[in-house]
Amino acid sequence: MRILLTNDDGIHAVGLCALRERIRDLGEVITVAPATEQSGVSHSITYQHAIRAQRTGSDDDPGWTVWGTPADCVKLAILELLPWKPDLVVSGINLGLNIGVAALYSGTVAAAVEGSMFGIPSIAASMEVFEPEDVTEAAKAVRRVVETVVGEDAPTDVILNLNVPAASRRPRRELRITRLRMDSFSERFESYSEDGCRHYWLAGEINHGEIDPETDVGAVLAGHVSLTPLRLDITAEDRRAVLERMNWALPKDEA
Ligand code: MN
């Protein structure tokens, strides 16, 4: 099996290194990851200047450092850097959960989305971090999911968004197949004044309240590993007919 490994925390991130060590023996693994932290950049790409890339790692642990976004890394890897088309793209392990709407802002998830755009099965893996040993535990869980995805011929037309709760949320019972919880966060800005400007930091927390156990948030809060299948085509197919019935007549051209 040939695996492209990437992330959004940067090529030296502990989550990526732990995962690489844990899955190396599954096949050939090549890491192509951002030079700097790219968390929260979502699916942004670089096209207004050249993307710089440098070979890193070693012969038995090959990789490329890319001065670009996670989506850049996957695109560049598949089109230019890799000697083969990967059988699987794995992004992560992100330090921090990508559940609910966080999945939409996430560079980790976007890298998997990019892999899926090439028709390659893609997994985004994220974890809740409380203790250092959580990284090892999460890497074991991700490996198990990789084995299942490959061994059981998982659907290839979806992105698999995996979230592993902290080990302290015991007992961690099982893996749940979930859906995104879209009202997942309460957000606000914290601000201060300096140099004649107002400065704002985005802050927020998980919106507790009624939590559907079938959602990713519900699963993780209950101590389960959450696996959400995501689709690339965000067309609201069921709303097309409603819009078709409305009057969209455009102004006539002047004669
Ligand atoms: Mn990140």
Give the distance (Å) from ligand 1 centre to CA of residue 215: 21
For residue 242, how far is its CA from the centre of ligand 1 (angstroms)? 38
Are 42 and 107 a contacting pair, CB within 8 Å? yes
Distance 241 CA to ligand 1 centre (A): 39
Q: How far is the CA of 80 from the CAs of 53, 57, 72, 104, 176, in angstroms?
A: 11, 18, 11, 27, 36
Average pLDDT (234-250) is 94
Contact of 166 with 96, CB cutoff 8 Å: no
Q: How far is the CA of 52 from the centre of ligand 1 (A)?
A: 21
Per-residue burial over 109-131, b if 16 or more Cβ lie within 10 Å, else e, is: bbbbbbbbbbebbbbbbbbbbee
Distance (angstroms) between ligand 1 centre and the Cα of 97 equals: 9
Q: Please name the helix (run of DSSP H) or strand (run of DSSP E) that holds residue 127, with its range, or none.
A: strand 122-127
CA distance 139 to 133: 10
Q: Express each pLDDT in 122-172 by its tens digit.
A: 999 999 988 888 899 999 999 999 999 999 988 888 999 999 999 888 776
> What separation in Å is there between the alpha carbon of 244 and the centre of ligand 1?
40
The Å distance, Cα 48 to ligand 1 centre, comes to 24
Per residue in 17-67, pLDDT tens?
999 999 999 999 999 999 999 999 999 999 999 999 999 988 888 999 999
Q: φ, ψ for residue 174 (rounded to 5)? A: -160, 180
CA 129 to chain centre: 16
CA of 41 to the centre of ligand 1 (A): 9
Mean pLDDT, range 187-204, rounded to an integer = 95
d(CA 114, CA 215): 24
The CA 44 to ligand 1 mean position distance, Å, reads: 14
User: What value, to the nearest 5°, has the Cα angle with vertex 21 and ends 230 and 66?
Assistant: 65
* Residues whose CB is less than 8 angstroms from the CB of residue 95 and which lie 6 or more positions away in sequence, other chains included: 9, 13, 14, 15, 127, 129, 135
